[in-house]
Amino acid sequence: MYDSYGFPQYVSVAERKAQAQKALAKLRKKYPNLSPVFIEGTQIARSVWGKAWCKHLESFSDYSNRIPRGKSYVRSGAVVDLHIEKGLITALVTGSSSTPYEVRMEIACLNGERKEKIEKLFREVASLELLDLLQGKLPRSLMAALTDTRDGLFPRVNEVKHTCSCPDYADFCKHQAAVLYGVGNRLDTQPELLFTLRGLDATVLTAGAEETLEQAAGSELGERDLAALFGVELVDAALWTTEPQPSPKKAKAKRKQNTDGKESPAQSARTPKTPMEQLLYIQKYTRWDFPELAQQLSTTVNRISKWSSGEAVPSAPIAKRIQKLYQDIKDIIGKIRAHK
């Protein structure tokens, strides 16, 4: 719709959302596998990778007058389909036309010295795990290198070839800007797509950790060096050293006690099963405080405080994260004991 002067009429965000939802419902009949971008609240991206992508996008000085126009479009739900693969972003964006506009962006994959530099950075961080990578829990120096506007993981302006089927004569339109913001939002839930887009395999980048672990197990590293290597500060060397065997006399007394129906200390100790028992185990061996635990579990200090006081219990997704962290700490302790 255009006004009497030939300019497009103003359309509110609420109207755009309604139009986008209507277009999406219609498109789903023809394309059942649509992958739309939904923005909840005012923030387009909330994760480390998503925010970093959007910040990098806004550094594109060549399109500084065009990039902001994409924000309102992506917030209104106009990006009704978005797919990211190696070197390619494709999307459908609703607009003034009765049919959605097709956006295609070819992103150059990393190669040569730049790719080698990034792979070398990952190799130098021996204890890096895939989960740390995807959650953005990286050393500050590595994160700074990856998000560097010139030599980092994000594409430069000249590495992006973009087209849109809209009639906008500009080199870079609002529909393309909306798609790029949509990528930032998508990285919140699928950060591995950033590495896929640039032609990198996130699992390969972290594969060096296991190799380093095997090398360390056969080396002459001390216990504290191993603990530091795995990123866990174990509280006492006695926790992983082999306990002295009881004398034959004490062993006989213990066996007699067991036949009387009483549990021995070894029998009474059991594997932590509930999330809270696993949290206590983690704290016992790491001495992490609530803020450190919150960071490791991607939750809040307030939640951990409520769990500890019995006011609340961890939800199912967080309970899984607790179990994963518990198992990781347990495995590290087991490897250190085996090395000892």
Q: Is the pLDDT higher at 127 or at 69? A: 69
Q: Is the pLDDT higher at 64 or at 229? A: 64
Q: CA of 106: how far to CAs of 67, 87, 190, in Å? A: 18, 6, 19
> Which residues, including other chains, have CB under 8 Å from residue 67's CB and lie 6 or more apart?
57, 58, 60, 172, 177, 180
CA 186 to centroid of chain Cα atoms: 11
CA distance 208 to 133: 13
84 residue type, one letter: I
CA distance 191 to 184: 9
pLDDT score of 12: 63
Domain segments of the chain as ranges:
13-205, 220-339
The pLDDT tens digits for 158-173 are 999 999 999 887 788 9
CA distance 242 to 262: 25
pTM of the model: 0.57
Q: Is the pLDDT higher at 153 or at 233? A: 153
